[in-house]
Structure 1
């Protein structure tokens, strides 16, 4: 796809987002995917942002729901991505995926397969060192690390509750998972 083709696609996505406020729009496997944003989804992102931002070393910043094109058929808008502060200061609508140092997605009923199966392969293929999947539906977090061409080689599932330490290329991050919202219909995490 040419640059003008990508720009045209971004323009179409922007129009869709304007027509359907409250929906996150991405391109996944060549299809435009729209998901409603729920309260627990937004609250999880806000809390994670607050937790991570205070622990980042100088020179790094957080972006949320901005586009990261991976190829002509896949453009993701991660719930939270850590990129160089210099790039974030450009205030762009889209950034190269290679800038991402850490990425996090919050699971919604519509995104389970994409967040757990599809996106890990793409994020790992770009060498993104750490991928976090926060799941308020199940009350747990999945940490993925050691990226390879077919996905992440390391993976842990931790129920919400205790503080979680994640070793990243940015340093150790401590996530107090007990502060994250859990859907009342979620399975008991204990």
Structure 2
């Protein structure tokens, strides 16, 4: 697909998102996917944003639900992505995935497979150093690092509760997990 084709597709996705407020719209494996945003999902994103933002070195910022086209069949809108501040200052509707230094997704009932299986392959293939999966359905956080063409070579699962330190290319990020929301009606309880 040409650059103008990608721009047209992205423009169509933006219109869909405008038509369905409260939904995140992405292209995953060639299909348009719409997920409703739930309160626990939003609260987790807000808490993580605050925690990460205050620890970033100068020149880096947090963005959320901004489009990152990986190819014709994959355009992700990560819940949290850390990119250079100068790129964010362009105020674009989409950015190159190669700008992402750290990415985080919050699991919802509809996104389990995408967040745990599909996105790690794509994020790792672009060399994104750290991928965090926050799961209010299971009450745990999965941290992935050491990206390769086959996916992330390092992976740990930590139950919400203790403080987690992520050694990233941005420096050490400390994530207190004890106050992250856990869905009591989750289909996959902890």
Report the TM-score when normalising by structure 1: 0.97
Q: Within 5 Å, which residues of 2 pair with 1:1-190?
A: 1-186=1-186
CA offset digits 1:113-159 (Å, max 9, x no partner): 00000000000000000000000010000000000001000000000
Q: Could you tell me how far apart the structure 2 residues matched to 1:123 and 1:11 are?
A: 23
In the TM superposition, residue 185 of structure 1 has moved relative to its aligned partner by: 2.7
In the TM superposition, residue 4 of structure 1 has moved relative to its aligned partner by: 1.3
In the TM superposition, residue 3 of structure 1 has moved relative to its aligned partner by: 1.4
Cα distance 1:188–1:107, how it changes in 2: closer, same or farther (>3 A)? closer
In the TM superposition, residue 71 of structure 1 has moved relative to its aligned partner by: 0.6
Q: Could you tell me how far apart the structure 1 residues matched to 2:4 and 2:47 are?
A: 37
Report the TM-score when normalising by structure 2: 0.97
In the TM superposition, residue 82 of structure 1 has moved relative to its aligned partner by: 0.2
Q: Could you tell me how far apart the structure 2 residues matched to 1:17 and 1:40 are?
A: 20
Instruction: Decide whether the 8 Å contact of 2:143 with 2:156 is kept in 1.
Output: yes
CA-atom RMSD, angstroms? 1.0
Task: Give runs of ≥4 in structure 1 deviating > 4 Å.
Answer: 186-189
Q: Could you tell me how far apart the structure 1 residues matched to 2:121 and 2:64 are?
A: 20
Q: Could you tell me how far apart the structure 2 residues matched to 1:168 and 1:140 are?
A: 20
Q: Could you tell me how far apart the structure 2 residues matched to 1:93 and 1:179 are?
A: 32
Cα distance 1:19–1:125, how it changes in 2: closer, same or farther (>3 A)? same
3-state SS, counterpart of residue 65 of structure 1: coil
Q: Could you tell me how far apart the structure 2 residues matched to 1:127 and 1:15 are?
A: 30
Size of the alignment, in residue pairs? 189
Which segments of 5 or more consecutive residues in structure 1 lack a partner in the other structure?
none
